[in-house]
Structure formats: C-alpha cells, structure tokens
Structure 1
Amino acid sequence: MKDPDILHDPPASVLVRLLLPMLAGALGIVLFNMVDTFFVGRLGALELAAMSYTFPVVIVAGSIASGLGVGASACVSRAAGAGDLSLARRLTYHAHLLALAVVVVLAGAGLLTIDPFFALLGAEEHLIGYIRDYISVWYLGMPFMMLPMVGQNILQALGDSKTPGAVIVFSVVLNIFLDPLLIFGVGPVPGLGIGGAAIATVISRGSTMVIVLWVLARSRKMVPHRNELSGFLVSSRSILFVGIPAALTNLALPISMGVVTRLVSRFGAEAIAGFGVATRLESFSLVFTMALAMVFTPFVGQNLGAGKVHRAREGYRVAVVISLLWGVVVALVFGGGGRPVAEVFNSTEAVVAATTAYLQTLAPSFGLLGVVMVTSAAFNGLQRPFAAAAVAFMRLVGLYLPLALVGRSLGGLQGLFLGLAWANGIAGVLAILIFRRASRGFVATEEDTKENTEEDTQGNAQNGTGTEGPSGEKIFCST
C-alpha cells in the first residue's frame, strides 16, 4: 500500500493511515519487556530481582534514544516537507552518528561502574553477579537497541509508519523464540540463564537495526552521496534542541509514577498490587494514543516545513477528536467491566477492589490524557520543544502530584485516584488552550507559503543553510 501524502491528503485520512500500522508497533514495545519478565521469572526470584534492578538503566537509555529519535524526526520531517531531500539525507546521517557517539559514552560509563552503581541502588552482594551477567551484555549491545529507535523515527518522519510497526512486531516474535532457547537451553544450545535473556534482547533489537538501515538506504535513498561530516555539530545542535527536552519529558513520567507508588504504599500491599495491575492496564489502553502521538510529530513537521500551517492546525483538531473518542471507548469498557478485568489478574478482594477503583475513576480522563500527549507531539513538530516539555511537566509536576497529595489527604485511596483523574482532565483542557494560543503565531497565506517554499529550496541548494518558516522564524533543524 502506498504511503499517505502527508502534505496533500485530508489530515484525517493521513493520520488514520499512519496510525493503524503503528498500533502494532506500540503494542509490541509494551509486550517486549513483558516477555523478558515472564521468562526470567521462570528462572527464580533472584534472577527476576536482578533484572528488576536494571530497569532504571533501561528506562533512562530508552528515554535518551527516544528523545534523539523525536529530535531527528522533527528535523527530517521539516526538511522533507520543504522539499530539501539533500538536507534530509544529511540530517539522517548525522542523527545516526550522534546516536552512536552517545551510545559509546553511555555504554562505556555503564560497563566501568556496574558494581558500585547497582550497589548504590541497594542491590545486595549475592545479586550483583546476576546483574552483571545481564547488564554487561546489555551495555555491549546498546548500539543495536538505540540506533533502530532513531531510524524508526526518521522513517515515520518520511511518512512510513508501516516499516517501523512491522519491524517492532518482528523483534517481539523473534524475542519470544530466542528467550526460552537461550535462557533455558534446548538440545545442543546451552542454557545461559539471565545472560541469555540479554543476548536474546540484543539479537532481537539488532535485527530491527539491520532492517531499518537497509530500508533507509535502499528504499528511501536516505544515504548522502558522500561522507558528509561537515555540519555535524550544527545538525547535532538542531537534533538535541528538540531531543533533550523530549528525553527529559520521558524521564519525568517514571519518576512521577514512583512518587505516586510511594503514596499508594501507605494503604498496604493489596493497594500497591491493585495499583500495579491497574497502571499496566492503563498502559495497554494508552497504546492507541501513544501510537497517535508517535505519528503526529512528523505530520506537523512536514506540513510546517512546506509552509502549510493550516494543515498542522487542522490535523491537531483531528488528533484531539480521535483521542477523545478513544477515551470514551476505554471509559465504557473499564467503567462497566473494570471488576471482571481486574479478577483476571488476581482474585484477592482487596486487590480487585483497588484495581477496579482506579480504572473506574481514571478511565473517563484517559481521553484528555491522550490530548496532553498529542499536544506535546505537536509542539515537537512545530520546533517548540520547550513548550512540549512544559505541557508534560504541567500535568506531572503542576497537577498530577499535587492533586494526588490533596486527594489522599481528603479522601484516602479513592481520593488519591480522584486527584489523578482531575489532573488528567485539567491538563487536557489546558493543553488545548495552550496550543490554540501558541499556534496563532504560525500564520501564512497561500502566497507566502509558495514564495517561502521556492526561496527555501533555492537557498538550500546554493549554500546548504537552513530555511525560514512561514512566519519568518528560523528553522532550527538546518545545516
């Protein structure tokens, strides 16, 4: 099937056609770690605890890779929208070089500090050996896990969401096959324990790197005609301008969830168990919105690069409606079937009650939570990464944590859940208002759009410098 024309097809059609292939990929991201956890859990409690200690490292590395990918997507999509394929190729090349440099630094630092770092996290001495078996392989394989994330974001920036979704699903299937083979051993293949899980992860993610790079080079022709190292620092600054705030935003979520988990722990182990089940169900329900946000940044970026700001605004309205409609579906499912769903995971009444209370209280706010995610994605596409981060931090720091504290003090566990729901709802409404106000600064007539596009193409062809947007603002992703 032909890729949608991001610059000309109706925005609703474009977003739906980009979204559907990414749903499988977004779900695959969630399933990948669950598969590892399931098979390592079969080894025993010590191995599972050891892998749990590595989760903060995995989350941080994933957030950095995702931030670099978002930065690359914002820049490449804008260059592609402006019709400057030479710039898009150069940015693609430089984005991978930048990611490789970051990986070398992170992996080197990680390998040199395994024992003291995890001891600092509280790992007991008898766990350090298991942790080392897993994380040392993981560090060595970091290039195979982080580079594909950058490449997948660039493919999305070019309007291809099918390939990223397909390769993620492929990696999950491969990991399901390799995990038991390498962890427990079969026939002549020896069981490698927790280290086998790390090897399976590296091979599975590495397969996506090979496929993504091949598609970028052969199918998308995104390899520079020569080894263009000139302008690397400028490209890196442009990518990091969007990527660093995006990475920090990604890190803020697990930190805030850790604080809320601490608040819930005051109500006992059953409440924590119910909260854990509910938040995992929440993650599954938000896969749809997560996929929408992933494809929305390149949609906005390409249209902004082409000077078609009105399409970016129209696409935002469509994305908001899609998110709210999905929120209604989720609210109906969890509102009416929260208890039966909770009982699938645990039959203890206190656990079921906590899970049900969370789902029934927060599910009506999931649509507006999706609006927050879409708004942050839109600002990244508009080359306003600090606005994107501000929207996310407004919810997490300004509303989520304070209202959780207020709700707990006034109404116990149910009040805490109600505070979280209000935080999602208020943040969603404020996000819409903030975007509407900010987007007024991006105004262009059709004549301005045509003139700027022609001038941009000529200017880039002559000197390789950046372009200016429709309102005269400097495009940061220019080399």
Structure 2
Amino acid sequence: MMENNDRLNNSDHMDKMGNMPVGKLIFNMSWPAILSMFIQAFYNVVDSFFVSLISEQALAAVTYIFPIQMLIISVSVGTGVGINSLISRRLGAQRYEEADMAASHGYRLSFINWMFFALIGIFLSKPMMNLLSDTPYIVENGINYMFIITVGSLFSIVQVTTEKILQSTGNMKIPMVCGIFGAVTNIIMDPMLIFGIGPFPEIGVTGAAVATVLGQLVSMCLGQIFLFKKKHAVHVKLFGWKMQGRILKDIYAVGAPAILMQSIMSVMQFGMNIILSGLTETAVAVMGVYGRLQSFIFMPVFGLNQGVLPIMGFNYGARNRKRLMETFKKGFMTAFVIMGLGLLLFQTLPYQLLTIFNSTGSQEMYDIGVPALRTISLCFLPASFGIMSSSIFQAIGHGFMSLWGSLLRQLVGILPLAWIFASIAGLKLVWYAFPIAELIGVVYFAIALKYVYKKDIRRLDIIKEDYVN
C-alpha cells in the first residue's frame, strides 16, 4: 500500500514538473525559496547590525570569520546541489530506487562534512585570527565566534541537505517554513545574548554566534520532522545499506564543482580582507557591510536558482529540450529584473544603506563605503547571466562548466585585479575589480552555454524520439 501511495506521489510530481506551464511552475517552485533566502539575508543583516552596535572592531572581527562561514555554506550547499541534481534527473527518468539512494547518501554525507569543520574550529581558530589581525579585541572575539560557528555547524549542514532533498522533489514550502522559524529564532536571540537582555548574560560578539547556531538548530529540527514524518517522492534510509562509489561519483560530478565554486567565493573574500586590511581596517568593515547588503539582492536570485534547477534537471532527464530552455530563459529574465532593482537601490541610496551599520557615525566609513557600494553594484546585471548559466550546467550534470566560470571571475579576475588596482590607486580603484571580473565571466558563460547547447541540449528531442521508439 505504501509503495502505491509513493508511486502516486511520483505521478503527481511528474505531471507538475513535465506539464505545468513553465512560468507558473517557476513561480510555484521559486517563491518559497526566494522568500526563505530573503529572510536569510534579513537575519544576516540584523546579526551584523547588532554586532555593529558594539563597535566597528566587533564588526571587523565577524567580517574576518565570514569566509569560514562561506566555506561551510560552500560544502553543504555544493553537496546539496549535487544531491538535488541527481535526484531530479533520476525522478525525471523514473528511476525511483536510485533517487532514494541518492537522498540517503547525501544525508549521511552531511555528518561527515560536519566533522571536517568541527576539527577546523577546534584546531585552527586561534592561528587564523593571529594571522589576520594584531588587534587583541578583534583576535579574541574572532576566535570565539569561529569556534562556535564551526563546531555548531552540524545543524546548518544537516538542514541544507534536508532542504535540497525536499526541493529536488518539487517541495519548496517546507524548506521555507524551516528557514523562517530559524531566522526568527536568530533575530530574537541576537540582542538578548549580545546585550544581556532578560535572564541572558551579556556576551557580545560571542552571543551573535550562539544566536546563529540556535537558529540553525531550530531549522534543522523542523526539517527532520518534515523529512521523516511526511510522505515524499523519495525516501531517506538511515541504516541497512553501504555507501556506493558510483552514487558518490554521480553526486560529486555536480557537487564537487559546486563546492569549489562556492569555496572560491570564500577564498576571494579571504584574499580581499588581506588586501583591504593593508589599506585600512575600515575598508574590511565596509566589505563586510557590502557582503550583508548584497545578500538582499543575490539571495532572492539564489532562491530563484533553487526553483529552476530541479525543473531543468527533471526535464533534462525526461529529454524535453523545449521546457528545459524555456525554464532557463524565463529564469534569466526574472534574475535580470531582480538584479536591476538591486543596482538601482545601491546607486541611489548607498549612504542610507551604510547608516544601518554605522552606529558611531564614522565619516571614514561613509567616505570609503559610498563609492564602494556604487562601484561594486555595477556587477549585478552581468552576474544574473552567470548565475542562471551555472544553474543549467548543474542541472544537466556539467558542474565543472560552472566551476571554470567561478575560477575565471573570482580568482583570475577579482583578486589579481583588486591587488593591482590597490597598488596603483588604493581604495579609489580597487572596487572596480568586481564589475570588470563579471564582464569577463559573461564572455565565458556565453561561449560555454553555446558549446553545451550544441553538444547535449540540442539533441534531446532526437534522443527522446529514439528512446520512445
């Protein structure tokens, strides 16, 4: 009886992913993820806002650890993208048992990934902060923040895996609900733990880290209830099976490039912190502010990406070229509009945006930050094409195409350009590294997309006809 119900769920899933009008399907799949990512961006900003009320040095301490947080996200989201892509393709091809095993492997991998970051936090927190800063306050608070974030990363890593498993089946609302409850928990606990409100002690920057972990714990617990207590198109098996190299290879064929692609962002942020700290630590704080503010723009686009990826993966597995490309085109158009609105916001209101994090009224932060926000935001529009191109590569199993694009933009582009510009003209020119690197990325992604289309996508209808016959 259970098997029949599961097949009925799969039939409903196939009808939606394969037949619902693409525009409506993208909206239904994306709005919960967009809302969830927007809330995520909001509580990241709130977190930094409360830290900035302590001091500019407190904000700098958190900014120094931001690359480590990005690295955690890189591994968990990258692995999740591989799981999502594989499950979607297997469901599209009606290979249900393989979809179950992909989900089960992914869930187990989340615990392995956590152990790696826990070891980093235990052994490398102090050496890393001593390398980055010689200001005692920043070093001490950075060590505490990094230790808590890494050792407590179990909750966020498991939750991201749970989210990607559910999203691969077309279920976008449950991850949204989990994210909302986690974000609300973090927002409530931030001021209480940072400033010692009510029965809670005043623990400053450390309180921000504890609040973040508590929010992740709430999200994870809700996710597990939904994953194991509700019926889905796939089932996660905890015990009674051995990990298979073939499935791990299939997951990381897309997941490894996605991890590296996300990790490159962490390396870029780390490198930018070093370049900027050689000029002034206020510039490091500004970079941290930009990272939080731009998440309001990029997070909704990443939410859109989460919605379109399983649609494209499913229709690639079902060999439906028309729906695959229609999803890509409409996804890109939507991303372009979101980024355009973000560009308008950063160009017209940079002073007001900086005021959110400049509780001391530091004129130096305004002098550095206003031109920085206006210049860096020029990268928004070209970035929309890169993000959507990466999503189609990941959806159809060409994850390394996305990886090369990120390498070109962030390591070959941003960091060398930033170093050269900083050497030539300091802060006045360094921010232009971002839009120039994105333009380089547009050229690469256009060429790569044309190649993949001719090699794989254009032939899908022919392959489908041969398959049916």
For the aligned pair, the TM-score class normalised by the smaller chain equals 0.7 to 0.9
Give the CA deviation at 1:232.
Answer: 3.3
- The equivalent position to 1:74 in structure 2, one of 78, 85, 88, is 85
Residue 229 (structure 1) shift: 1.4
Q: Secondary structure at the match of 2:16?
A: coil
Where do 1:46-57 residues align within 5 Å? 54-57=65-68
Per the TM alignment, residue 249 of structure 1 is displaced from its structure 2 partner at its CA by 1.2
Paired residues for 1:392-403 under 5 Å: 392-403=406-417
Report the alpha carbon displacement of residue 159 of structure 1 after superposing the two structures with TM: 1.4
TM-score of the aligned structures, taking structure 1 as reference length? 0.80
Larger fraction in helix:
2
Structure 2: which amino acid aligns with 1:98?
L
Answer whether contact 1:35 1:176 (CA < 8 A) is retained: yes
CA distance in 2, matches of 1:114, 1:403: 29
Q: Tell whether 2:156 aligns with 1:156.
A: no
Quickly say closer, same or farther: Cα 1:445–1:373, change in 2 above 3 A. closer
Comparing 350-359 with 171-180, greater Cα deviation is found at 350-359
Deviation at 1:50, TM superposition (A): 6.2
| Match of residue 296, structure 1, among 296, 300, 308 | 308
1:213-228 equivalences under 5 Å are 213-221=224-232, 222-223=234-235, 227-228=239-240
- The partner residue of 2:463 within 448, 457, 468 is 448
SS of 1:7's equivalent in the other structure is helix
1:316 to 1:21, Cα distance in 2 relative to 1, 3 A: same
Question: C-alpha distance in 2, partners of 1:249/1:366?
Answer: 18
One-letter code aligned to 2:369: T
Q: Is it true that 1:177 corresponds to 2:181 in the alignment?
A: no
Contact kept? 2:92, 2:315, Cα under 8 Å: yes
Residue equivalent to 1:423: 437
> Is the 1:339–1:353 Cα contact (8 Å) retained in structure 2?
no
For the 8 Å contact 1:24–1:166, the answer to whether it is kept is no
Quick one: distance in 1 between partners of 2:416 and 2:238?
53
User: Structure 2 length normalisation: TM-score?
Assistant: 0.81
- Does structure 1 residue 327 correspond to structure 2 residue 342? no
CA distance in 2, matches of 1:245, 1:86: 25
Q: Retained in 2: the 8 A contact 1:53–1:123? A: no
User: What corresponds to 1:16 in structure 2?
Assistant: 27
The aligned residue for residue 474 of structure 1 is none
Shift of 1:330: 2.8
Cα deviation per residue 1:171-230 (whole Å; 9 max; x = unaligned)?
010122234445555666666666555443333212222222222233343325784514
The equivalent of 1:251 in structure 2 is 263
Distance 1:125 1:339, change over 3 A: closer
Which residue is equivalent to 2:3? none
Match of 2:380 among 366, 384, 406: 366
Q: Aligned pair count?
A: 453
Name the Cα RMSD after superposition: 3.7
Distance (Å, rounded) in 2 between the aligned partners of 1:25 and 1:408: 37
Compute the displacement of 1:298 (Å).
1.9
What does 1:99-178 correspond to in 2, within 5 Å?
99-108=110-119, 110-111=121-122, 115=126, 118-119=129-130, 137-178=148-189
CA distance in 2, matches of 1:204, 1:49: 22
- 1:42 is displaced (CA, Å) by 6.0
Instruction: Report if the CA contact (8 A) 1:327-1:365 is conserved.
Output: no
**1:58 corresponds to which of 44, 69, 73:** 69
Partner of 2:323: 311
CA distance 1:395–1:186, shift in 2 (3 Å): closer
Q: CA contact under 8 A between 1:86 and 1:224: conserved in structure 2?
A: no
SS at match of 2:19: coil
Any idea what SS the aligned residue of 1:223 has?
Answer: coil
* 1:304 partner SS: helix
| 8 Å Cα contact 1:141-1:202 kept in structure 2 | yes
Who is 1:31 aligned against?
42
The amino acid across from 2:371 in the alignment is A
